Amino acid sequence: MRMLGDGRPWLRTVRRLLNGVAFGVVALGLALARIQVAPDVYFDARNVPIALIALFEGWPAGLVAALPVAIYRWFWLGGIGTVPGLVSVACAAAAGGLVHWWATRSGRVRTAHTFGLGALTFLTTLLGYAMLGAPGLGKFARTWPHFLVAYVGGIGVLATLFQNVVERERLHAGERRFRALLDESSEAIRIVDAASRRILETNRTDCALSGRPRPALLGRDAREFWPEDAAGRDRWEALGAEVDAAGAASAFGLPLRTAGGAVRSIDLTCRRVDRDGRRYDIVIFRDAGPREALDAARREVSDLRAITLIANATAHEINNPLTVIVGSLELLQRRLDAEGQETRWIDRAIDASQRIRDIIARMTHITRVEASGAFPGVPAMLDIHRSSEDNTGRH
């Protein structure tokens, strides 16, 4: 019934009721399979499952479990022991509910709770026999060792076994939740044994970035995914040394070798954790591609702004003296012979000045950063033509 889970209140209620019905059927079977221990004296352990289910699911489930036995006693068996029998099973359910409340305050069912419930159940059985008067107490005197073993010992042992099963199921449920949360993370998570560097756990995002399924990652040495070049391996070694010294470290643009030998860039954070005498590295990383693209875009915007400011200032400072130079050349051209050598020199100077004007015009319309081809010994330069051609319409 644990499959119904504890996530929703109505599911918990349904689970408890169904568990109560199931244990009620067991209690009814025990009541029908009673054992004769003396003439006209019978023994059965019907209160054991009632008390147990009330211990683990609360008094409502205990009352549901007591219902089949009560119906059998009232409508089928009858006799002077009907009312005491009903009181006995109801008190067993109440005792289980009381110990359930006690165990809830303690955080879990412990040995004291289980054997305490066994003792209370034994007393509820004594109460039922006592309600029959002297004949009932006489019968109880001949059967009490059986009840003592069945209730105190039986409930104590069975409750301990049930608690182990419940805790194991809770542990498995916690592992499943941990596995689900791990796989839903948008970032790759890898848990590595710090001593052996073996991968102990991973998630779906790690498998996607590494290009390998989970079984192919678990148990592998994390160093197998380092790049082959010395520079990349040195960066990983430096990261490990920082984790050893400080307990945590981060790195950006770290190379990771994926399936097929391809290398991709990742941003990584690693934290060292000590647990039960062992050290673990919790490694969280993501693809650095989007971050690097964003950084490149930001650098280009910054570069473009700086270039634009310089270009506009340069254009302003050059245009003023250039206007004076071109005007002076044109005045000088009018005074010279149209066919003379000096006029041709002035024409070339005016043409060169016009080219300068065109360059300045392009400088004031730069919209992106395009570098010219690099040559040995020559630093990269801005290609003004390619950086502004979309706005000027010139090719």
Q: Is it the case that residue 261 has pLDDT exceeding 50?
A: yes
Q: Is it the case that residue 3 has pLDDT exceeding 50?
A: no
How far, in Å, CA of 227 to CA of 322, rounded?
A: 57
Least confident residue range of 51-60, 236-245, 266-275: 51-60
The stretch 224-238 carries a mean pLDDT of 92
Cβ contacts of residue 21 below 8 Å, gap of 6+? 64, 65, 68
How high is the pLDDT of residue 364? 80
| Helix (H/G/I), strand (E/B), else coil: 374 | coil
Would you give the distance in Å from CA 390 to the centre of its chain? 49
The stretch 370-387 carries a mean pLDDT of 70
The fold of the 188-287 domain, in CATH, is Beta-Lactamase (3.30.450)
- How is the beta sheet containing 278-287 ordered, strand by strand? 199-202, 188-193, 278-287, 263-275, 248-257
The stretch 47-55 carries a mean pLDDT of 87
Q: Is it the case that residue 392 has pLDDT exceeding 60?
A: no
More confident residue, 354 or 372: 354
The stretch 35-43 carries a mean pLDDT of 65
Closest CA to 154 of 2, 41, 50, 25: 50
Least confident residue range of 17-26, 318-327, 330-339: 330-339
Q: Is it the case that residue 27 has pLDDT exceeding 50?
A: yes
How high is the pLDDT of residue 393? 46
How high is the pLDDT of residue 40? 64
With b for 16 or more beta-carbon neighbours within 10 A and e for fewer, the 22-45 pattern comes to bbbebbbebbeeeeeeeeeeebbb
Cβ contacts of residue 376 below 8 Å, gap of 6+? none
How high is the pLDDT of residue 8? 63
Residue 162 has a CB neighbour count (10 Å cut-off) of 17
Q: Which CATH architecture fits 2-182?
A: Orthogonal Bundle (1.10)
Least confident residue range of 100-104, 137-141, 197-201, 339-343: 339-343
pLDDT tens by residue, 66-114: 999 888 888 887 778 788 888 888 998 999 899 889 888 877 788 888 8
Per-residue pLDDT band for 271 (boundaries 50, 70, 90) equals: very high
Quick check: 330 and 350 in contact, CB under 8 A? yes
pLDDT tens by residue, 135-155: 888 878 878 888 888 777 778
How high is the pLDDT of residue 265? 93
The per-residue pLDDT of the chain, averaged, comes to 83
Q: Are strands 278-287 and 41-43 parallel, antiparallel or unpaired?
A: unpaired
